[in-house]
């Protein structure tokens, strides 16, 4: 069984072994890619990313 250990006092994150992410949970993220050049007239790009733990395969 995968496990995440969380120490509450300092709220640290310790990965003791592979961590579980709830089966069936689906996360969505909004992303952008833009030029950092000061003189850039380029419009940027945006995207949405959906992620879900694979219910078919275990983490390696």
Partner 1 sequence: MFWLVEERGRGEFPWSERFGRVAVDRRWHAAGAGPAVLYDRGEGRSVVAVPLPFFAAEQPLAAGADFKDGALECHVDRAAKFRELPVWQVDVRDAFGPKRTLLVDTSGPLVRSVTERLTMGRGEPYELKLEFAGSEQLTGENLSATVKAIDRLTVLRGKLGLPSQSQEVAWKPEQLELLGGQLPGVSEAAVATSLEKLAATAARDLQLQSGRKDALAELGMKSVGREVDDFTMTGSAGESLRRQDLPGHVTVLHFWDYRDEPLKEPYGQVGYLDFLHHKRKSAGVQIFGVAVDGRLADDKTRAAAERSVRKLKSFMNLSYPVVLDTSGVLKQFGDPRLVGASLPLFVVIGSDGKVAHYHAGHYDVHQDQGLKELDAAVSAALEKK
Which residues in this chain contact partner 1 in the complex, by CB under 8 A?
Answer: 4, 6-7, 10-15, 17-19, 21-37, 42-57, 59-60
d(CA 46, CA 59): 29
CB of 41 to partner 1, least distance (A): 10
**Nearer Cβ to partner 1, position 1 or 32?**
32
d(CA 25, CA 54): 10
CB of 53 to partner 1, least distance (A): 6
* Nearest to 21, CA basis, from 2, 39, 37: 2
């Amino acid at each position: 069984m995968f496990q995440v250990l969380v120490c509450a006092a300092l709220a640290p994150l310790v990965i003791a072994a592979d961590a579980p992410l709830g089966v069936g949970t689906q996360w969505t993220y909004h992303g952008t890619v833009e030029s950092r050049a000061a003189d850039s007239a380029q419009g940027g790009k945006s995207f949405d990313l959906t992620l879900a733990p694979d219910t078919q395969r275990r983490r390696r």
